[in-house]
Chains A and B, each alone.
Chain A
């Protein structure tokens, strides 16, 4: 088994090395595509195999570490290159490789004809490797390698078309968007580094199993140090998972090719923050303050991003804000201690959001790189399959039963209601309403109404099979993914019908104990009420959007703009966060570096002092030089004077 587990991340790495070194001379796109996709496919199969192996073990033994070698040793600190398999890591590995594989296959069609086809697949393989390292690592240091590694791949892929322009605050090229993502993520990464230092100080190790096992004995609940550690870790999460205050990079990350947005910026990488919180859940459970902050930030992000999504006109930007918002849902759940619900939403979100993005890719493809939804319309006639799949994904994200999104969102809403209270529930429900609305605004403007694209040059058509089949599979998963987590309230048999909850239970038990929560299978009437309410809100959002954007078409846009007035502008400018950051942080840092530190301190003060000292010495030397006249008579006279002076001193004193 150890061999298989090790192979899961290493096979995509091999794919990267082969494609990176040899890919450029391979003429055949098919060959490159097959190599690139099959590595991930094999990884997926091996992950399935590992899942089967885990399932046949008793729950208490579903935790296995494979140590490859000792990576760093210094003083009392050491860290290994080691992979850890347990229910949590295998769930993430399955999502990464499964959805990853589908997106790889899709990319064969999407990237067809690109001059750097091989480079694209090399980067994607590298990304899958890094992501697998992140989730399979047995310790925080190796996770950090994956963490920064996926950041690097994200950077490389956002700027993949490095000669294309992209619009944004302080952004001119796609590569600038990549740089923004990298630097903002690094701010979060510093949090993770500092958390590691503190953890080493407390535990002497960064191994997850050791930390999780000892956490409850090392820290009392709510102690300052554990609060600081978890807050620092959460800072890292706000970077990687695009939460307030570091969310600003994700919308600009849409500069990358659409499969990248689907894979990295929707389905996998951005959920790494949830993974980290879940992985160290026993630690987070000891810090109620941190959990509270996570809940608040998550809920605020969910609502703020959803409202921004209402008015965006770029199809990918709408989806990007949707992603930020859904990640906010997950963090709210994690903050409420509902780790399983958060992970469940990661899984279903990976299905329907990947589907939305890939569907959007098909649309963008059909319209020759057009991304403005105001210039689309009426595509239902040309792309019926894509339309239907988009509808499925839309209904899923809106939380309509019995699609996957309903179950995971319901689990989050119910637990937030129970653990956080009615305000948290209200905020999320408001965000859910916006979600339903913007998704169906998108569908209305893209697929319904008059055709606003240029008929003479553009003849939209369904995507080729290599792109369509992955979409169909994702559509199927979006439909049925909810079966993984059926709530007891809906299926009250003797045992818990929630498969995911049962599978993840051993991972989250320590956290549940620390939080003082015992698993009880009980039915509350409120749960049914909330379910109905949430579904009603989803349907309401859909109906409103349908009436406006399917009923009235593009003119509804103008109506909305007039109705909302200033609010529309505020949302259109994303609450001006980018502008504020630019004015308050980026520009002052540039100015202070240039004017104060360099020109004033360095050149004028320090170097001025150095050169000044040199000049003073030089002048002193020049002054002394006058004494050396070279005239012997002068020397003789001075000598005589000296002798006389000495003699008189001897005589008189």
Chain B
């Protein structure tokens, strides 16, 4: 199965190379290659999901190839339940995004599809990398195709948006690079050798003195929070979304933002637990502010894409709140909400794209009265809106409910207030989403052209129906998804609670026998290091 994991990265990369080799006039071939590659990748991801053993702690399908030996940097890949869900999300959205590109993208198709393939490979790399250095490479690699997708195939103000997107995220990630190097140096001084091996670092890093941890925590967190984007670092998002082509928006909202929240879980909570305890309330509160602020600003928008962009700020606030509740419920909710947001916001962007193709405007006032003219479309948009609004029975509810439940129960936040204010976000969500829906569907058409709009055709339905199926599946039977990540998150939360309170209420399955854990030379037993750390921790506050 290791090769399946490698395959998920290699197949899109092969597609990228293959498309580069194709003559640009063979447009059909280019479409076929990219679609096939993305579907094969999806199949591989599903195979991974089937082969994945959800009851086992730790990473599965390990692979480690030496790369820069002197610095112990390697091509290390592996997945656990957390990354697996995001791999599934990425591979699921990609074919849909490609289908959504067939009509709107009319020029430089070869470069476009090559970029999309490269993007898929890089995004998957971010989620499966188990080496800080490799992670960083993938992280930056994602920027390049996305920069071009916005900058070449985007709207009128695309260059400004692309540059803003690029610089904003680059600022954060450079700090992350410093932190990665610092971590390696620390490992060299205290554990014998420089390393970028995440599985070694996760035992070494929690031993950092707290003053140092704080700095490194923020170096990572800043980079991730820009990506999320967490209030007040969000202003690149509306511009990027408005200018990006439909497929770009789908991937941007669906996957790229999740790289930030994934990073917070994977690196900040895992590597800097003590700093996380300190800053959890701050970040959770920023999440709450994001929920309310994003919703209010979304409510004021008249541009469809801006409205959805700000709704993302609000939705991602729920995720951040769930993460920094540092409870299993909250993290489960946050993780499921990452998937949910990718699906429902992705679908909303697809729908907006379909309207844009017909009318070439994104102004809400230009629409209206579409329901009788596009009945199928109206039903599907309604489902996306309801999913996004967190209606029970559809996917969004489970994620939001668990995130807020976690925030309410959290021993780390120790306050009911974030949950209360976060829950108020669902009122505002109903307000701005129904404003959006009503402006499109009901009332008088804002422009006579609307009288002649055709309902969506089979290619468009093909993009939306798989998403609707998942809305219902996750809404009514979320267990396969929750189960996938349950063990990984339980382990994480148990470790956090142990470090902070000395006890844990979480039942954790037995760790793998030590012989399977690769123990690098020169480092003491990782488990022992952690135990040592546990002893040195101050006793829990009463």
Contacts and interface: CB of A to CB of B under 8 A. Distances in A.
Interface of A: 69-77, 81, 141, 144-145, 147-149, 152, 159, 162-163, 172-173, 175-176, 179, 182-183, 186-187, 189-190, 193-194, 196-198, 200-201, 589-590, 592-594, 597-598, 601-602, 606-607, 610, 614
12 contacts: A72-B482, A77-B405, A147-B392, A149-B393, A175-B442, A182-B434, A186-B430, A201-B408, A201-B409, A601-B293, A602-B235, A610-B236
A193 B404 contact: yes
Given A70-B479, A159-B442, A197 B419 contact: yes
A152 B424 CA distance: 18
B431 A148 contact: no
Interface string B356-390: 00000000000001011000000000000010000
B408 A590 contact: no
Given A69-B477, A592-B296, 20 more contacts: A72-B479, A72-B482, A74-B332, A75-B490, A81-B476, A145-B397, A148-B393, A149-B392, A149-B393, A183-B430, A186-B426, A186-B430, A187-B427, A190-B427, A193-B423, A194-B423, A198-B416, A200-B408, A590-B300, A610-B236
A602 B290 CA distance: 12
A200 B419 contact: no
B168 interface: yes
B392 A144 contact: yes
A162 B434 contact: no
Contact of B427 (A176, A186, A590): A186
A183 B431 contact: yes
B434 A179 contact: yes
Given A75-B332, A182-B430, A593-B299, A200 B442 contact: no
Interface string B239-264: 00000000000000000000000000
Contact of B398 (A72, A152, A175, A598): A72
A497 B50 CA distance: 62
A72 B478 CA distance: 7
Contacts of B333: 74
A602 B442 contact: no
B314 to A, nearest CB: 12
B392 A75 contact: no
A35 B397 CA distance: 31
Of the four ranges (under 10, 10 to 19, 20 to 34, 35 or more), the interface on chain B belongs to 35 or more
A200 B427 CA distance: 22
B420 interface: yes
A147 B369 CA distance: 29
Contact of A152 (B386, B427, B443): B386
Contact of B442 (A162, A187, A193, A198): A162
A194 B391 contact: no
B232 interface: yes
Given A197-B408, A597-B300, A598-B297, A183 B423 contact: no
Contacts of A607: 235
Contacts of B434: 179, 182-183
Contacts of A186: 426-427, 430
B515 interface: no
Contacts, number: 137
Given A72-B402, A173-B442, A194-B423, A148 B391 contact: yes
Contact of B391 (A152, A163, A187, A610): A152
Give the top 4 A-B pairs by smallest Cβ distance, nearest first: A75-B328, A197-B408, A74-B332, A145-B392
Contacts of B332: 74-75
B401 interface: yes
A338 B401 CA distance: 33
A74 B296 contact: no
B186 to A, nearest CB: 31
Interface in B262-296: 293, 296
Contact of A74 (B393, B402, B477): B402
A173 B439 CA distance: 12
Given A75-B328, A201-B408, A189 B443 contact: no
A74 B371 CA distance: 39
A75 B167 CA distance: 39
B405 A173 contact: no
Contact of A593 (B296, B372, B506): B296
Given A183-B430, A186-B426, A193-B404, A610 B168 contact: yes
Contact of B479 (A73, A149, A590): A73
B438 interface: yes
B486 interface: yes
A76 B330 CA distance: 11
Contact of A189 (B164, B426, B478, B482): B426
A602 B402 contact: no
Interface of B is mostly: helix
A129 to B, nearest CB: 10
Interface of A is mostly: helix
A190 B490 CA distance: 28
Contact of B482 (A73, A193, A196, A606): A73
Contacts of A74: 328-329, 332-333, 402, 482, 486
Contacts of A149: 391-393
B121 interface: no
Contacts of A187: 427
B463 interface: no
Contacts of B419: 194, 197
A194 B420 contact: yes
B327 interface: yes
Nearest to A162: B442
Nearest to B505: A76
Nearest to B306: A598
A597 B297 contact: yes
Given A190-B423, A201-B408, A77 B386 contact: no
A287 to B, nearest CB: 18
B168 A593 contact: no
Contact of A75 (B300, B327, B477): B327
Contacts of A189: 426
Contacts of A201: 408-409
Contacts of B423: 190, 193-194
A81 to B, nearest CB: 8
Contacts of B416: 197-198
B426 A593 contact: no
Contacts of B420: 194
Contacts of A76: 328-329, 505-506
A163 B328 CA distance: 47
Given A70-B479, A193-B401, A597 B235 contact: no
A182 B430 CA distance: 8
Interface in B143-170: 164, 167-168
Contacts of A196: 405
A614 B168 CA distance: 10
A593 B311 CA distance: 13
B486 A190 contact: no
Contacts of B109: none
B301 interface: yes
A200 B300 contact: no
A186 B301 CA distance: 22
A589 B477 contact: no
Contacts of A590: 299-300
Contacts of B372: 163
B435 to A, nearest CB: 8
A53 to B, nearest CB: 28
Contacts of A176: 438
Given A183-B427, A186-B426, A190-B426, A75 B299 contact: no
Contacts of A162: 371, 441-442
Given A176-B438, A194-B420, A592-B296, A73 B235 contact: no
A589 to B, nearest CB: 7
A146 to B, nearest CB: 8
Contacts of B299: 589-590, 593
